[in-house]
């Protein structure tokens, strides 16, 4: 247990010198009393709210609930804004800024008089960004999820954010709906503040935070607009004060067993392929060895049990009513490491006790999975020597073993321009390929991997094709999309050598992605290859391009990986 006299914040406030006098004086300038910061645990509430982050529109109110919990427990809360990565608005991609947010969180906590932190986020990259920064700083930290938005319905059918946008867009291209209906749909699917309500990246990553032990049990399944949500936020505030006293740091929670638990949950949820990159990056910050092979191994052991879009047909609100993540994890007890300690200070085993699913269609038993195909397969071959990933549960079963002619695009703009061309040389067996969309090339590895289908094929009723890229794919999307090809094309990965007309073979059961081009010809192409020009000559993007690791290593910045300690700031 940490005594009040050992609090880190006392370095700022406790001394009898001119500098500590100034620190206390500035607190009193804000109307605080001397005793408010003397001997009370100081909690940073790191808030990724912004006016351009619709999924976090309620987080200012939730910060107030967290403050209430902190104060009731005898702590002193301070709200600190951090970069808000609203997934849909931030360009070219929030992934470019995940590491930026992680750096900001780490340095906010290091540079200020803070004893522990509650992390408010949920929209896609905010969750791993917040956690990565908190892991690297190493203070007690607890993740408070934004929660999913409410269900919506359109023409009597359940519709969810992201997944249905793609479904209706394809229908518009195919003539299945008209322009007036398309405009009407703008006001549907996003019914309230909160994160996407499908099992997209947001719901996947918040669930992973809980499975890792970094969020309160059941917290990540609560809808953002449920009255349980502000109560949960107050619980977070109350609990972090106790965690500070217990010195319960991320390093005590984030073991290899905790990461394997998170991997099991990712598979059982049919979670986003983006989670692969984020789990490996977080493990890298915690100094825990974790590879694509570990995740593939887990995918072979754990079937998809959560009947949620895009692998199933329900939404997060339904998942909450069915018992939420604790009920799902209870069904996975045999593959989980139940002795792992969580933010509660208790082992996982204790917090799953009695958490039964109330709906066997939404949270399936192991005997009746949503899909016989797993949530993830890691592929290797001469197109991705370091690995690529696919989500078989959201792919067309007929394409899981496929051989087709490549149609290669060098840029998103080139591909978009071609998709409406009625003369495009393409059929349903073609393998659509996009390159220069990886961590360095795009830059930031945007969610372009769900390549659009050619309009003329959509009009003929085609709704899926094999697609291959070094990009990522939105967790809300679906289709037979091979993603994260590593090493990426922009740094000379083999995708750079593929040409239109080459035959590509995809064999998911054999975990293989291969181009039928012999080694001598590949050597000739490599000798003639030159890297694409880089458009960024300054600033954060240049830093990112110089230091980002490849997808199979988590796309962290190389100088932020690992557990090397940074000294506490000198206080003069």
Contact pick of 196, 434, 437, 468 for ligand FES (by CB under 6 A): 196
Kindly state whether residue 195 participates in binding ligand FES, applying the rule CB under 6 A. yes
**Window 38 to 97, contacts with ligand FES (CB under 6 A):** 55, 87-88
**Window 506 to 545, contacts with ligand FES (CB under 6 A):** none
Q: How far is CA 151 from CA 154, 215, 253, 490, in A?
A: 10, 23, 33, 40
- Bridge partners, residue 343, by sequence: none
Sequence-ordered alpha helix ranges (H) in 112-216 = 126-137, 163-174, 179-184, 201-212
Q: Which is nearer to ligand FES, 202 or 513 (CB)?
A: 202
**Beta-carbon count within 10 A of 423 CB:** 7
Work out how close the CB of 212 gets to ligand FES at its nearest, in angstroms, rounded to a whole number.
19
Asked if 40 and 277 touch (Cβ cutoff 8 Å), the reply is no
Work out how close the CB of 427 gets to ligand FES at its nearest, in angstroms, rounded to a whole number.
33
90's CB contacts (< 8 A; 6+ apart) are 97
Q: Contact letters (x/-) for ligand FES, 157-186, by CB under 6 A?
A: ----x-------------------------
518's CB contacts (< 8 A; 6+ apart) are none
- Residue 359 three-state SS: coil
Kindly state whether residue 130 participates in binding ligand FES, applying the rule CB under 6 A. no
Kindly state whether residue 123 participates in binding ligand FES, applying the rule CB under 6 A. yes
Work out how close the CB of 199 gets to ligand FES at its nearest, in angstroms, rounded to a whole number.
11
Q: Which is nearer to ligand FES, 76 or 161 (CB)?
A: 161
Stretch that binds ligand FES, among 5-13, 194-202, 465-473, 554-562 (CB under 6 A): 194-202
d(CA 304, CA 311): 8
Written as one string, the DSSP assignment of 89-123 is TSSS-THHHHHHHHHHHHHHHHHS--SEEEEEE-S
Work out how close the CB of 338 gets to ligand FES at its nearest, in angstroms, rounded to a whole number.
30
The site for ligand FES, by CB under 6 A, has a size of 10
Stretch that binds ligand FES, among 193-201, 254-262, 335-343, 443-451 (CB under 6 A): 193-201
- CA dihedral sign of residues 197, 200, 202, 204: positive
Stretch that binds ligand FES, among 104-112, 195-203, 397-405, 527-535 (CB under 6 A): 195-203
**Window 133 to 162, contacts with ligand FES (CB under 6 A):** 161
Contact pick of 202, 332, 376, 504 for ligand FES (by CB under 6 A): 202
Nearest to 555 by CA among 446, 406, 450, 448: 446
Q: Which is nearer to ligand FES, 126 or 393 (CB)?
A: 126
Kindly state whether residue 27 participates in binding ligand FES, applying the rule CB under 6 A. no
Q: How far is CA 236 from CA 22, 70, 81, 120, 545, in A?
A: 31, 8, 18, 10, 37
Stretch that binds ligand FES, among 192-200, 227-235, 309-317, 492-500 (CB under 6 A): 192-200
Kindly state whether residue 204 participates in binding ligand FES, applying the rule CB under 6 A. no
Phi, psi angles (nearest 5°) of residue 439:
-60, -40
Contact residues toward ligand FES (CB under 6 A) are 55, 87-88, 123-124, 161, 195-196, 200, 202
């Amino acid at each position: 247990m940490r005594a009040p006299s050992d609090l880190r914040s006392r370095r700022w406030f406790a001394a009898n010198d001119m500098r500590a006098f100034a620190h206390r004086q500035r607190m009193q300038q804000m109307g605080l009393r001397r005793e408010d910061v003397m001997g009370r645990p100081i909690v940073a509430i790191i808030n990724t709210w912004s006016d351009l982050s619709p999924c976090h529109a309620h987080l200012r109110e939730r910060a107030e609930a967290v403050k209430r919990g902190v104060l009731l427990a005898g702590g002193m809360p301070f709200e600190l804004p951090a970069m808000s990565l609203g997934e849909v608005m931030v360009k070219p991609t929030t992934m470019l800024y995940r590491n930026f947010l992680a750096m900001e969180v780490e340095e906010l906590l290091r540079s200020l008089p803070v004893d522990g932190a509650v992390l408010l986020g949920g929209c896609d990259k905010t969750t791993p960004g917040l956690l990565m920064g908190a892991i690297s700083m190493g203070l007690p930290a607890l993740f408070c999820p934004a929660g999913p938005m409410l269900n919506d319905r359109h023409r009597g059918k359940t519709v969810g954010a992201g997944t249905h946008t793609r479904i209706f867009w394809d229908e518009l291209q195919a003539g299945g709906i008209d322009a007036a209906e398309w405009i009407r749909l703008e006001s549907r699917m996003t019914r309230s503040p909160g994160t996407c309500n499908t099992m997209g990246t947001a719901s996947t990553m918040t669930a992973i935070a809980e499975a890792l032990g970094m969020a309160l049990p059941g917290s990540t399944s609560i809808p953002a607009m449920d009255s349980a949500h502000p109560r949960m936020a107050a619980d977070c505030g109350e609990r972090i004060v106790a965690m500070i006293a217990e010195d319960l740091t991320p390093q005590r929670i984030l073991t290899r067993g905790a990461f394997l638990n998170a991997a099991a949950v990712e598979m059982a949820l049919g979670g986003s392929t983006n989670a692969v990159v984020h789990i490996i990056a977080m493990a890298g910050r915690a100094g825990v060895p974790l590879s694509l092979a570990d995740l593939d191994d887990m995918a072979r052991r754990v079937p998809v049990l959560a009947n949620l879009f895009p692998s199933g047909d329900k939404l997060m609100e339904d998942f909450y009513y069915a018992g939420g993540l604790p009920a799902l994890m209870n069904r996975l007890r045999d593959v989980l490491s139940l002795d792992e300690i969580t933010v509660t200070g208790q082992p996982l085993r204790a917090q799953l006790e009695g958490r039964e699913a109330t709906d066997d269609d939404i949270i399936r038993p192991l005997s009746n999975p949503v899909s016989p195909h797993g949530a993830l397969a890691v592929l290797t071959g001469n197109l991705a020597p370091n690995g690529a990933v696919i989500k078989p549960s959201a792919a067309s079963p007929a394409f899981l073993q496929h051989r087709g002619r490549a149609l290669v695009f060098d840029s998103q703009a080139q591909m978009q321009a071609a998709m409406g061309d009625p003369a495009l040389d393409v059929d349903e067996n073609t393998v659509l390929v996009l390159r220069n969309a990886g961590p360095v090339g795009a830059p930031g590895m945007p969610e372009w991997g769900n390549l659009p289908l050619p309009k003329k094929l959509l009009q003929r009723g085609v709704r899926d094709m094999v697609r291959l890229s070094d990009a990522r794919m939105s967790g809300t999307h679906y289709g037979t999309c091979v993603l994260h090809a590593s090493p990426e094309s922009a740094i000379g990965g083999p995708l750079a050598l593929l040409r239109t007309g080459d035959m590509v073979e995809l064999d998911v059961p054999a975990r293989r992605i291969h181009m039928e081009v012999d080694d001598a010809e590949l050597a000739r192409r490599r000798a003639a290859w030159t890297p694409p020009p880089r458009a960024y000559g300054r600033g954060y993007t240049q830093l990112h391009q110089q230091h980002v690791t490849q997808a199979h290593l988590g796309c962290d910045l190389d100088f932020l990986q690992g557990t090397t300690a940074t000294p506490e700031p000198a206080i003069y």
